[in-house]
Amino acid sequence: MTGNERVRAVIEGRKPDRMPVYGWVRANLEEPISERFGSVEAFEDRYEFDLSHLFGGPERYLKADLDAIRERKGQIEPADLLEIPLTDPRDPAAYAGLEEAVRFHKHDRGRFVYVQTHGVFEAHNGFFGIENHLMYLLLYPEDLSRVYARQAEWTAGFADVCLDLGIDMIHVSDDWGSQRGLLFSPEVFTSLIVPHHRPVADLVRSRGGYLSLHSDGNIVPALPAILDLGFNVVHPWQESAGMSYDLFERDYRGRFAVMGGIDVQTTIGFGDPDRVRREVGALIDRFRDGGLILCTTHFVQDHCTIDELVDAFDFIHRKVRGR
């Protein structure tokens, strides 16, 4: 199997020839990786990564419009965004980098490629600040619903273009969880968050693409909505936030796949290679027949040394191959 075929097998509930592997390593460790291997791309080739996590496309708002609001008011509120236009998500000039990345990773190396886009909640944390945003959910629900609806329409256009480029999966990043549960009440979640994910989910499904959700924290209360929206992959399944793999195997395996298993909060980057071998090795054994795409739960943090990173992926490379 190619990496692309291997990932598709897991997502579709079939047994792969071996567990697919990936890691979010570039963001904080590009410099030490490049010093050791020459480039992050060489590191990915060395460990035969099966996926590639892509970024790109247009910004949603013009920086000048956002700066003008901040200069006038200091703080952006939902009604302010309704007064300025969104950019064109179908502008072909904004996708040159993604086109090249698809060629490099998918066509040249046979990997499964997925592109990240913000979900409706996370998309606006940078504009409002997360504490203000949580407050606005209660103060301005009607304005936020309109803001989210515009965002959802824009993201559906973005996803449509990405699927045309050959991207396999739209990866919606929309942090919903704290360490103990959702950041919102069930009423806010079901009335304001979930409905505005549906346009993107429907578009991706209608195009035959795959859809994944990234959310940190404990999102067990959101799992019924995740099923209803039709997400194919959940990243991560955060055991360190109280989400047990027993729950996944009992109630959700076969209904979606999990991408994760290498916990950056508790396991990798803490100078304990035995723990990496013990915890990650147990998951590799448990899910050899499918259900899990082995990946870091988030970006590996910069307290992880290059020696620890190499040791971890040397072990993983051998273990998934039964060595």
Over residues 34-80, the pLDDT tens digits come to 999 999 999 999 999 999 999 999 999 999 999 999 999 999 999 99
Q: What value does the mean pLDDT take over residues 179-191?
A: 95
How far apart are the C-alpha atoms of 186 and 179, rounded to whole Å? 16
Q: What value does the mean pLDDT take over residues 290-309?
A: 98
Four-CA torsion 70, 72, 77, 78, nearest 10 degrees: -100
How far apart are the C-alpha atoms of 132 and 127, rounded to whole Å? 10
pLDDT at 323: 80
How far apart are the C-alpha atoms of 233 and 189, rounded to whole Å? 20
pTM of the model: 0.97
**What rounded mean pLDDT belongs to the chain?**
97
Q: What is the token pair recorded at 313? A: 């992926």
Domain locations in the chain? 3-320
Cα atoms in the 13 Å half-sphere on the side-chain side of 136: 25
The model's pLDDT over 217-227, given as tens digits with 9 standing for 90+, comes to 999 999 999 99
How far apart are the C-alpha atoms of 114 and 7, rounded to whole Å? 11
Residue percentage of the chain with pLDDT more than 70: 100
The model's pLDDT over 120-153, given as tens digits with 9 standing for 90+, comes to 999 999 999 999 999 999 999 999 999 999 999 9
pLDDT at 119: 96
Residue appearing with tokens 């997360």: 130
The CATH fold of domain 3-320: TIM Barrel (3.20.20)
**What one-letter code names the amino acid at 6?**
R
Q: What value does the mean pLDDT take over residues 287-312?
A: 98
In 3D space, the residue among 36, 11, 66 whose CA is nearest the CA of residue 204 turns out to be: 11
* Residue 97 reports pLDDT greater than 90: yes
How far apart are the C-alpha atoms of 91 and 62, rounded to whole Å? 14
Per-residue DSSP letter, 21: B
Task: Classify 241 as helix, strand or coil.
Answer: helix
pLDDT at 161: 98
- Local confidence band at 236 (pLDDT 50, 70, 90 cut-offs): very high
